[in-house]
A and B are shown apart, each in its own frame.
Chain A
């Protein structure tokens, strides 16, 4: 059953259409990757979903209930992690978490243990340190911690790794991987590698319009057949045989071998047999999986044609 349903969402700024008839569905306990280029409309969508800005038209349902402007009750059920979180620098991490805890109206007797548990969950050991002295990675951990204080039904993350170095990114991805066991994660990013690591489903937005929504498994398997082949013999000879075979759609030379595309697995086997019969000595032969990045680039190219 769906947790968040967005139908026909539009947002206009004057004559500029920031969002144009965006429709998407996010299921319970799924990690939904919301991908798109910078300026595609990801953050605007998130701000509307957070009821921080008013929509021009469209319907948003959370757990079957419409989300209205400045919807306080709905915010009890969600957690939000921005791309570059900004905290009051004079507060300590524990003070900010205590404030968050109180803002959600939770049981004061359990405040201390909840703060300790959440800080441990995001591996942030500087609870008593002022936030002004935090690194970006520490602030991002704190942003995740404060979003988890009330165990939300859905965690909304707006490019949480975009401002981090590779180690910081890895840490945040590991945290998301753990979190998606217990809650829905709505994860916006333009770093496709990160989305591929954690997301079950992907929605691609471009120029304010949804291009597609697909399961990650479908994206990885539903693709043209690309193989990599390297042989002991000179590459020129291999390329000549590929031409003779006639069923190879396109090929590129890379890493001392050839990466090529065929229509189906029969053609792939046929080409391999032809090469073996011709006396080639094969060093490497593997099917190449398409990455989310490949799909992204393909779709955008098609969309701009």
Chain B
């Protein structure tokens, strides 16, 4: 396992994927707070120069949470998705598999290593982003609900993993880059659409994590509902890893 993780880490390092994701996370964190704090002023200023005098409401910390989860849901998640699928499929699409598996490497370790590295990278990036976001939010709004925000972030993390592991599952059976990428993207859109189904037990379903983190950060959702949806998303990701293992083991290498 160590050998294949080192192999994957070298790719991560040499192709600067870790830096790209980290830089994007930090940039979006800073941008979210600044946008939330000053966007209304910018609008006011722009309109005033056109002769329209409108007074915009004073932004609250909730605007900051809204910007953060909107940016991460729409930009960060998409970038992670495409980077992750490239990471999962590159050994097959570049023709490395025959040489790799002429060595005594386990196919199970091969899949686990990819899942582990992408999960850790996203986690570290989100935690670093949370530190930057929390600091600037507190600095500019004088308040920051750390515990609530971290739980909301946990829900978002589970959602990212669910989408990314859909890509892993499809890539275990596919020879192309686009099939898994579009499948994961498809799940993202379907999840967003399914958020309208919020009655009965359906409100606990993991697809709601497309919206729950923001709703929870705004204080409009029970913690138990968020945690159930998060736990189910983690469980679904684990199932997808197991299915990927089975699928990859049964597929020809060439």
Partners in one complex: yes
B102 to chain A: which residues have CB within 8 Å? 50, 52, 75, 78-80, 147
B105 close to A72 (CB less than 8 A) = yes
CB distance from A287 to the nearest CB of B (A): 44
Partner of A86, one of B15, B99, B106, B253: B99
Among the 9-residue stretches B3-11, B66-74, B154-162, the one with 4 or more Cβ atoms under 8 Å from chain A is B3-11
CB distance from B2 to the nearest CB of A (A): 8
B11 to chain A: which residues have CB within 8 Å? 88, 90
B98 to chain A: which residues have CB within 8 Å? 47, 50, 52, 80, 82, 86
Partner of A104, one of B2, B6, B103: B103
B253 close to A53 (CB less than 8 A) = yes
A103 close to B103 (CB less than 8 A) = yes
B99 close to A85 (CB less than 8 A) = yes
A91 to chain B: which residues have CB within 8 Å? 10, 14
Asked whether A52 and B252 contact (CB < 8 A) given A72-B105, A75-B103, A86-B96, the answer is yes
A99 to chain B: which residues have CB within 8 Å? 3, 6-7
B249 to chain A: which residues have CB within 8 Å? 70
B94 close to A100 (CB less than 8 A) = no
List A residues 66-96 near B (Cβ within 8 Å). 70, 72-73, 75-76, 78-80, 82, 84-88, 90-91, 95
A79 to chain B: which residues have CB within 8 Å? 102
Asked whether A52 and B105 contact (CB < 8 A) given A86-B95, A86-B96, A103-B3, the answer is no
Partner of B103, one of A70, A73, A88, A100: A100
B94 to chain A: which residues have CB within 8 Å? 86, 88
CB-based nearest A residue for B105:
A103
Question: Is B104 in the interface zone, CB < 8 Å from A?
Answer: yes
B106 close to A72 (CB less than 8 A) = yes
CB distance from A70 to the nearest CB of B (A): 6
CB-based nearest A residue for B100:
A103
Q: How many residues of B contact A (CB 8 A)?
A: 25
CB distance from B93 to the nearest CB of A (A): 10
CB distance from B4 to the nearest CB of A (A): 8
A72 close to B7 (CB less than 8 A) = no
CA distance A7 to B253 in the complex (A): 23
Question: Is B101 in the interface zone, CB < 8 Å from A?
Answer: yes
CB-based nearest A residue for B95:
A86
CB distance from B254 to the nearest CB of A (A): 5
Question: Is B203 in the interface zone, CB < 8 Å from A?
Answer: no
Question: Is A143 in the interface zone, CB < 8 Å from B?
Answer: yes
CB distance from A296 to the nearest CB of B (A): 26
Partner of B254, one of A47, A90, A103, A147: A47
B101 to chain A: which residues have CB within 8 Å? 50, 52, 70, 75
CB distance from A214 to the nearest CB of B (A): 28
CA distance A51 to B177 in the complex (A): 25
List B residues 210-254 near A (Cβ within 8 Å). 249, 252-254
CB-based nearest A residue for B94:
A86
B99 close to A102 (CB less than 8 A) = no
Question: Is B148 in the interface zone, CB < 8 Å from A?
Answer: no
Partner of B6, one of A85, A90, A102: A102
Question: Is B107 in the interface zone, CB < 8 Å from A?
Answer: yes
A-contacting residues of B (Cβ < 8 Å)?
Answer: 2-4, 6-7, 10-11, 14-15, 94-96, 98-99, 101-107, 249, 252-254
B-contacting residues of A (Cβ < 8 Å)?
Answer: 47, 50, 52-54, 70, 72-73, 75-76, 78-80, 82, 84-88, 90-91, 95, 99-100, 102-105, 143, 146-147
A-B contacts, 24 listed (Cβ < 8 Å)? A47-B98, A47-B253, A52-B102, A52-B253, A70-B249, A75-B101, A78-B102, A79-B102, A80-B98, A80-B99, A87-B96, A88-B94, A88-B96, A90-B10, A91-B14, A102-B3, A103-B3, A103-B4, A103-B103, A103-B105, A104-B103, A105-B104, A143-B99, A147-B102
Q: Which 5 pairs across A and B sit closest by C-beta, in order of nearness?
A: A80-B102, A86-B95, A52-B253, A90-B14, A103-B103
